[in-house]
Structure 1
Amino acid sequence: MDMDIDDGVLLPYTYLKNNTSGKGFRNKLLDYFNLFYKVDDNKLEIIKEFIDILHTSSLIIDDIEDNGEFRRGKLCAHKIYGIGSTINAGNLMYFKAWELLMKLESDNNNNNGNELNKIFVNSMIKLHIGQGKEIYWRNNKICPSEEEYLEMVIGKTSELFKLCVLILSCISDDDTRDKDNIDEKLIKFSEKLGIIYQIRNDIKDIRDDYENGNYSYPIIYCIREKCMKMESNDKEIEDKIRELGGIRHSEEKIISLMGEKGKREFENKFENDFLQLLM
């Protein structure tokens, strides 16, 4: 992407971008969605870059808000470059993503730029509300119910997947599709996918979440159903949560959301790659 920006300003962003994975998963997801919308390859590549920038930028800001030390075994960007520079880089890239969206608007013949802007703003609001709920619960030591947590996840995690659907739908020139029906089904799918994705990460990040005071899905189960206390110095928290059934409960939730039919469809569509990237 062409940028008239000094490289030093973007160091926190490029550092995190070069040290995180997941782009393959998001690109495959967009390829899957585009089977229904038939957007041309050039526009699809712009959308892929747009989503990748939003995702990476959100991780930069999340790590600061969560007072994170490490991300997947490497120091968080703000621990290297400082909070001020890292916040600035993350926020700057939100606007660079928006700039890409405007390029998509100028390249499109449907004159729907105003609709694209509405979609972007609404999604960003939902993403920040979802993140805000998680921060509020942590700061005030409020353990949410599972239902409240899943509602938060739909805003915080599923919304980026839903944004893919909404943008593709907005710019698609394919008049043969059943637009409303396809949109509705893929948005519901995106909500489920976001929950699966988040709970999977919750299982991986039990120790970090516990030590930072975050109420993740397995932790919520153990607190609400097994009366577990949040004690940050618990050295064997992963074993404890496993013994109390928190991990198994989380795995069962993932399985219930996937279902055998959905699992078979993924396997057939992408020859196992898509499912493996998710799980």
Structure 2
Amino acid sequence: MPINPSKYLDKAPDIDHIISQKGLPVPEGTLNAPFEYLQLLPSNNNKVRSKFLVGFNEKFFHITDTRVITEIGAVIETLHGASLLIDDIEDDSTFRRGQPCAHITCGLPATINSGNLMYFTAMQRALTNLPTYLESTDNDSAQAVLRSQLLDIFMAEMINLHVGQGFDIYWRDNFLDVMNSGLPSIEEYLEVVMHKTGGLFRLAVRMLSLFADGMAPNTRLPNKLVQIASLLGIVYQIRDDYINLADEEYAELKGSTCEDLIEGKMSLPILYTLIHQGKSSPLFQLYREAKSPEERRADVGRLEAVSKFIADSGALEYSYSILQEYVQKAKALIESEGDDSSNILSDILTKLSIVGTERKRPAKASFLH
């Protein structure tokens, strides 16, 4: 049947109305379905970043405007959720919190777009809402300064996060080259962790500092407070590295066992084993021969054997030992810098130091000193 052009061209859309629009709304359950799906999954960390934010404020800043705390917490949780969407794609994960990952359920392109959208949504929320909570006699000028500072620290920590993640990906995807040219040292690994996992902790602290009494707009945040935030990020990642290979309950919650081995990651216990056992180890053989997560996931017997080898090598004892050492270091820093008004941060650190069940916990190692 011939097409009648006049049927479609009788009335052109109002182009003036279209080009005057400033943005498109995001209807619920459509463009952002992957992020919304993730938010419905039960969290396995009980929003530790939000608790850290409250604890840090009560210990060091004493900001009384609860809107500031709530808003920063929402920004951090949004960034964390968005990063999980992207991380699961980059790690070729299939499960998150015991359920299929968002990209498995919603599709890869939609999930990438949703994750990136929420990065910018979080930034927009911070730049739009937080300056309105500022108390100042010259409010317009103060808000402009605050927006500039928020943008600077937001960009800096998001770059840190992505650089750290980039190293993580590079070590995984160029495994043989890294083995031949030289593995990263434990110190280098922890520096990457500080950038990657510590980024959102530092971002929260740096945003808080902008609203603290007694801190002028251009006053630099005390370095010790930044160090505490970075150290807490390191503690969190070491704990995650440890329980990924040692805790059966964690494996059930994540939906798979030995997830870091399946993904081919360079976690702390895995790096320790490779440094001390080298190319003769079954761990090296697994990574060299089974090049994809699918191949590694399919060989359950081999995964179990490699996991046992890692445990027997002392890698889990080492990881557990430095976890406890750094927890105590963080507690000491907190007590030396803050007042006695709150124990939330110390309580968080105590909970992070308890890993697995008593029967799974390795004996206290003595080779650190």
TM-score normalised per structure 1: 0.90
User: Which structure is higher in helix share?
Assistant: 1
Question: Is this contact kept in 2: 1:57–1:91, CA < 8 A?
Answer: yes
Q: What is residue 363 of structure 2 aligned with on the other side?
A: none
**Secondary structure, counterpart of 1:5 in structure 2:** coil
Residue 134 of structure 1 deviates from its aligned partner by: 0.6
Alpha carbons of structure 1 residues 60 and 271: separation in structure 2 relative to 1, 3 Å = closer
Q: What is residue 222 of structure 2 aligned with on the other side?
A: 183
Larger mean CA deviation between 220-229 and 82-91 belongs to: 220-229
- In the alignment, residue 200 of structure 2 is paired with which amino acid? L
Q: What is residue 235 of structure 1 aligned with on the other side?
A: 303
Alpha carbons of structure 1 residues 51 and 277: separation in structure 2 relative to 1, 3 Å = farther
Residue 98 of structure 1 deviates from its aligned partner by: 0.8
1:155 aligns with 2:195: yes
For residues 122-168 of structure 1, the C-alpha deviation after alignment (integer angstroms, 9 at most, x for no partner) is: 11111110001111111110242212211110110011111111101
Larger mean CA deviation between 158-167 and 230-239 belongs to: 230-239
Q: What is residue 164 of structure 1 aligned with on the other side?
A: 204
1:9 aligns with 2:49: no
Would you identify which runs of 4 or more consecutive aligned residues in structure 1 move more than 6 Å? 179-182
Query: Percent same amino acid among aligned pairs?
Result: 35
- In the alignment, residue 16 of structure 1 is paired with which amino acid? L
- In the alignment, residue 225 of structure 1 is paired with which amino acid? H
Alpha carbons of structure 1 residues 126 and 181: separation in structure 2 relative to 1, 3 Å = closer
Alpha carbons of structure 1 residues 204 and 37: separation in structure 2 relative to 1, 3 Å = same
Alpha carbons of structure 1 residues 209 and 18: separation in structure 2 relative to 1, 3 Å = same
Q: 1:192 aligns with which of 205, 215, 231?
A: 231
- In the alignment, residue 119 of structure 2 is paired with which amino acid? Y
Within 5 Å, which residues of 2 pair with 1:259-274? 259=328, 262=331, 269-270=343-344, 273-274=347-348
Residue 66 of structure 1 deviates from its aligned partner by: 0.9
RMSD: 2.5
Larger mean CA deviation between 204-213 and 250-259 belongs to: 204-213
Larger mean CA deviation between 104-113 and 136-145 belongs to: 104-113
1:129 aligns with 2:155: no
Question: Is this contact kept in 2: 1:153–1:194, CA < 8 A?
Answer: yes
Residue 26 of structure 1 deviates from its aligned partner by: 1.5
CA distance in 1, matches of 2:125, 2:232: 25
Question: Is this contact kept in 2: 1:218–1:246, CA < 8 A?
Answer: yes
- In the alignment, residue 96 of structure 2 is paired with which amino acid? R
Question: Is this contact kept in 1: 2:55–2:345, CA < 8 A?
Answer: no
**Secondary structure, counterpart of 1:171 in structure 2:** coil
Question: Is this contact kept in 2: 1:131–1:156, CA < 8 A?
Answer: yes
Residue 25 of structure 1 deviates from its aligned partner by: 1.6
**Secondary structure, counterpart of 2:184 in structure 1:** coil
Larger Rg: 2
CA distance in 1, matches of 2:202, 2:122: 16
Question: Is this contact kept in 2: 1:105–1:116, CA < 8 A?
Answer: no
Question: Is this contact kept in 2: 1:166–1:183, CA < 8 A?
Answer: no
Within 5 Å, which residues of 2 pair with 1:64-143? 64-102=89-127, 103-109=129-135, 110-111=142-143, 112-141=146-175, 142=178, 143=183
- In the alignment, residue 139 of structure 1 is paired with which amino acid? D
Question: Is this contact kept in 1: 2:38–2:81, CA < 8 A?
Answer: yes
Question: Is this contact kept in 2: 1:34–1:168, CA < 8 A?
Answer: yes
1:37 aligns with 2:61: yes
TM-score normalised per structure 2: 0.69
Q: What is residue 216 of structure 1 aligned with on the other side?
A: 267
Structure 1: 5+ residue stretches without partners: none
